[in-house]
Amino acid sequence: MREINASIPFDKRMWRQDIAGSKAHVAMLGKTGILSAEDAATIDAGLDAVAADYEAHGVTEDLALEDIHMQTEARLADKIGSVAGRLHTARSRNDQVATDFRLWVRDATDQTLEALAALQDALLVRAEEHADAVMPGFTHLQSAQPVTLGHHLMAYFEMIARDIARFRDARARLNLCPLGSAALAGTGFPIDRQMTAQALGFDEPTRNSLDGVSDRDFALDFLTSATQCALHLSRLAEEFVIWASQPFGFVALSDQWSTGSSIMPQKRNPDAAELVRGHSGRIMGCMTALMVTMKGLPLAYSKDMQDDKPPVFEAADLLALSIAAMTGMVESATFRTDRMLALAESGHATATDLADWLVREAGVPFREAHHITGRAVALADARSAKLSDLSIDDLKAIDTRIEPGIYDVLTVTASVASRMSFGGTAPARVREAIAAARAREIEA
């Protein structure tokens, strides 16, 4: 029973939040006269001493003391004697753990937001560096239309921007203080919940004591945000894995973010990217684990909820590692833009430009233009040539409405330059997007 009941092996990492919550609580007890000023001061000083011990030596995993809350109270009693027992006046472990956990998730959210901002900065720097670099754009992993590397990287900037918005929204929702809800019904002591909420940086107290102790939406919000973010990181990691392969050869990963083979000396394996890809599955599993734990629990607190912390802790650790790894890979990767350009020029990536030219300049309905272009592609394939290598006579033999002006759009450089619609891949638009992104960062 001691072993299954104890949570100290994992909830010890909340010791800073537990100390902070206890200090805010005892300050309120002293201010309201529930405790004497002398007792409140003694307890506060004792909590500082316990925190110093934790900082210096860590938290002892004493299963008999069950969790970080009882551990801290026992250590406090060692420091100041029986007056330590007054700390738990007008408080339950139910509202204590709910408060500590919210504080921990809020800290983890802030750290995640800081890390995601660094990843965005890395993407902006590399996107600006390669705003003109032409590469193949893919659908179904088939060459589709040429884009720029800068445009491609800015797509991930936008994904991360949505992740940041989700974490910010989640943080705003969690920032209510459960402390003072007590076990489930509130307390008969004349406590000041506004005071403790303000001291701990919350916007206000939770509005219902039952919900205050039993709500774990804030943890689920963190996990769903983490899962979505991990999906985006996994997609970027997969691109790096593909691009680093010899058939693609789009990127050379730095030695810092790749590994060698135990038997094949020529190998440079994208292990960090593959682990980011793998971590995303584990983070999704963490989200599912907590959702299943919470799905059938009645109000208010059940011991099942002790299992809320391990999946959140695991997901936060994995996400932090994944963001750091992807930031490092983006910053240090060598993009082989010559190889990208060469492959962009193969595969007839400007076929759509030929069809669009027929629509725009010759008034051909798009479906007919599509068929005409298909015949031009077939001819180029038969000759192992690019579309731009076909002579005007070759093209006129396919359709007499084709004029020499077609060559203005058949190169990949001309193709990307023409994509000037808002959000398009034209280098000018990419630079505008980068400037706008930097302006949004300053405003935020």
Q: Using the 8-state DSSP alphabet, how is residue 269 labeled? A: B
Evaluate whether 332 touches 257 at the Cβ level (below 8 Å). yes
CA R_g for the chain:
30
Cα 292 from chain centre: 22
Q: Using the 8-state DSSP alphabet, how is residue 298 labeled? A: P
Longest CA–CA separation in the chain, Å: 100
Let me know if 261 is a catalytic residue.
Answer: yes
Burial (Cβ within 10 Å: 0-12, 13-18, ≥19) of residue 52: exposed
DSSP per residue, 326-361? HHHHHHH-EE-HHHHHHHHTTTTTTHHHHHHHHHHH
* Residue of 140, 262, 391, 421 with catalytic role: 140
Contacts of 238 (CB under 8 A, 6+ apart): 273, 277
Burial (Cβ within 10 Å: 0-12, 13-18, ≥19) of residue 266: exposed
Letter string b/e over residues 15-34, b meaning 16 or more CB atoms within 10 A of that residue's CB: bbbbbbbbbbbbbbbbeeeb
431-439, Cβ contacts within 8 angstroms, sequence gap of 24 or more: 431/128, 431/131, 431/150, 433/151, 433/154, 434/124, 434/127, 434/128, 434/131, 434/150, 434/154, 437/120, 437/124, 437/154, 437/157, 437/161, 438/124
3 state SS of 389: helix
Contacts of 80 (CB under 8 A, 6+ apart): 42, 43, 45, 46
**Cα–Cα dist 444/442, whole Å:** 5
Q: Using the 8-state DSSP alphabet, how is residue 183 labeled? A: T
Cα 216 from chain centre: 20
Joined together, the tokens standing for residue 409 give: 């759009």
* Residue of 36, 261, 302, 346 with catalytic role: 261
Let me know if 69 is a catalytic residue.
Answer: no
Side-chain-facing half-sphere of 254: CA atoms under 13 Å: 12
Query: How far lies 42's CA from each of 38, 80, 161, 190, 199, in Å?
Result: 6, 7, 47, 21, 19
Evaluate whether 370 touches 357 at the Cβ level (below 8 Å). no
Active site residues: 140, 261
